[in-house]
Amino acid sequence: MENLGKLLKTVRKSKSLTQQELGEILGSARQTIAKWEDGDIPQSAMPMICNFIAESFTECDQQRRHWQTEHDLVEHKLERLKIKIQAIIDT
C-alpha cells in the first residue's frame, strides 16, 4: 500500500491541496490522510482513494486534450499566416 500512499500524496500536491483540505473532501481527518500517505491504508478506504486518484487523472487528461486542441488551433492559424506572408512576398 506504500505506493498507493505515495501516489495519493503526489496527486494531492499536484492539486495544491493540504492534507486538511483533502481530508475535508474525503470526509476524513488530516491525521488519517497522513497515515494513508505513509502507506497505512485500510481496505475500507481503498475505493474512496482510488476514486479520488482516478478523477484526478481524468481531469488531467481532459486538460491535456484542451491544451492539445488549443495548440492545434494556434498551429493552424500560424500556418495560414505563413501562407499569406509568402503570397505577399511572392507578389
Q: Could you read off the pLDDT of 61-71 as tens digits, one per residue?
A: 888 888 899 99
Q: Could you read off the pLDDT of 18-29 as tens digits, one per residue?
A: 999 999 999 999
Cell numbers for 13, please give them: 500536491
Q: What's the predicted TM-score (pTM) here?
A: 0.65
- Look at residues 62, 58, 59, 82 and name the one whose alpha carbon lies nearest to residue 70: 62
DSSP 16: T
HSE-CB at 9 with a 13 A cutoff on CA atoms is 15
Q: Which CATH architecture has domain 2-90?
A: Orthogonal Bundle (1.10)
Give pLDDT, residue 62.
83
